[in-house]
Amino acid sequence: DIVMTQSPDSLAVSLGERATINCKSSQNIFFSSNNRNYLAWYQQIPGRPPKLLIYWAFTRESGVPDRFSGSGSGTDFTLTISSLQAEDVAVYYCQQYYSSPFTFGQGTRLEI
């Protein structure tokens, strides 16, 4: 199984500042035949189901503000929130969908 490890486990950032969350996979999740990394990021606001933010490592889902961006390739990935807003307080998860079981990271709690 591919193990996804996020860092840090929690993060406190001031409003308007940059937040960076890392995700490392235990195996390469880049598929060379289509030049894609099989990595998604989700946001879960307390009491609500998760929401897809980014897929293929850096493609923003429709409606997601452009302050959210994804980067990385192979085994190391990053979610960046360029200017933190109050509504971004949530837990963020990465997930690999390269191979079953489609494992999640343990989550990163983002606070102000």
- For another protein, the binding residues (CB under 8 A) are 1, 36, 38, 40, 42, 44, 49-52, 55-56, 59, 61, 91, 93, 95, 97, 100-107
Complex with another protein: residue 26 or 83, whichever CB lies closer: 26
- CB contact at 8 A, 11 and 110: yes
Please report how close the Cβ of residue 45 comes to another protein at its closest, in angstroms.
12
Complex with another protein: residue 52 or 83, whichever CB lies closer: 52
Nearest residue to 108 via CA among 81, 75, 74, 85 = 81
| Whole-number Å distance between alpha carbons of 104 and 13 | 23
